[in-house]
A and B are shown apart, each in its own frame.
Chain A
Amino acid sequence: MEQNKEMTAEESLSLITETLNSNRKEITRRSGKYYMLWGILLMVFSLIVYFLWKYTDNATWNCLWFAMPVIGFLAARLGLDKKQEGKVSNDVSRITGGIWSTFGIFACAVAAFTLIYGQLNEGADGLGRIISTLVALGSLTAEIVLLFGLAESICGVALKSWVIKIAGFVTGIGGLAIYYITRANEEQMFIFTFAGLVLVATGLIIKHQYK
Chain B
Amino acid sequence: MLPKLDPLLHSELRLAIMSILAGVDETDFNYLKEQTGATSGNLSVQIDKLAEVGYIAVEKGFKGKMPRTTCHITHEGTEAFRSYVKALKKYIAAGK
Contacts and interface: CB of A to CB of B under 8 A. Distances in A.
Contact of B22 (A1, A20, A22): A20
B24 A1 contact: no
Given A13-B85, A86-B27, A23 B13 contact: no
Given A13-B89, A19-B35, A88 B10 contact: no
A86 B38 contact: no
Contacts of B23: 19-20, 23-24, 90
B83 interface: no
Contact of B30 (A1, A3, A15, A86): A86
Interface in B1-44: 5, 10-16, 19-20, 22-38, 42
Contacts of B85: 13, 16
Interface of B: 5, 10-16, 19-20, 22-38, 42, 45-46, 68, 70, 85, 88-89, 91-92, 95
Given A13-B88, A23-B20, A88-B27, 16 more contacts: A1-B12, A1-B13, A1-B36, A3-B42, A5-B12, A7-B15, A9-B88, A13-B85, A20-B23, A23-B35, A86-B32, A87-B28, A88-B24, A88-B28, A89-B26, A90-B25
Interface of A: 1-5, 7, 9-10, 12-13, 15-16, 19-20, 22-24, 26-27, 84-91, 94
